[in-house]
């Protein structure tokens, strides 16, 4: 993850089932109102390297994103805390 990530993000990522040996891209959508987190995540996934894991930071679980990820062949795992929601997305 980028160096400026809060340390807790890496810890939360480790609690997911995402492959730990792959490069990670961070997408912070906590400040965006609906539907922008969904749109931004789907746009980012189009250009995501096949081996990379997208780590989305959100202020809520992205419930509307999950079926779209399944339809596109992505796996995902979400960890929720009081501070944020971390969703790892990969193929």
- Say if residues 85 and 78 touch (Cβ distance below 8 Å): yes
Q: How confident is the model at residue 9 (pLDDT cuts 50, 70, 90)?
A: confident
pLDDT tens-digit series, residues 22-76 = 999 999 999 999 999 999 999 999 999 999 999 999 999 999 999 999 999 999 9
Q: Which residue has the tokens 């539907």?
A: 35
pLDDT over 50 (residue 2): no
Please give the Cα distance from 15 to 8 (Å, whole number).
Answer: 11
Residue 6: its pLDDT value, please? Answer: 53
Residue 82: what pLDDT?
Answer: 86
């Amino acid at each position: 993850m980028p160096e400026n990530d809060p340390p807790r993000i890496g810890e939360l990522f480790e609690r997911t089932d995402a492959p730990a040996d792959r490069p990670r891209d961070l997408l912070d959508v906590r400040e965006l109102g609906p539907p922008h987190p969904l749109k931004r995540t789907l746009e980012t996934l189009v250009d995501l390297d096949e081996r990379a894991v997208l780590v989305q930071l959100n202020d809520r679980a992205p419930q509307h994103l999950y079926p779209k990820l399944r339809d596109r062949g992505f796996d995902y795992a979400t960890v929720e805390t009081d501070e944020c929601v971390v969703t790892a997305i990969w193929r």
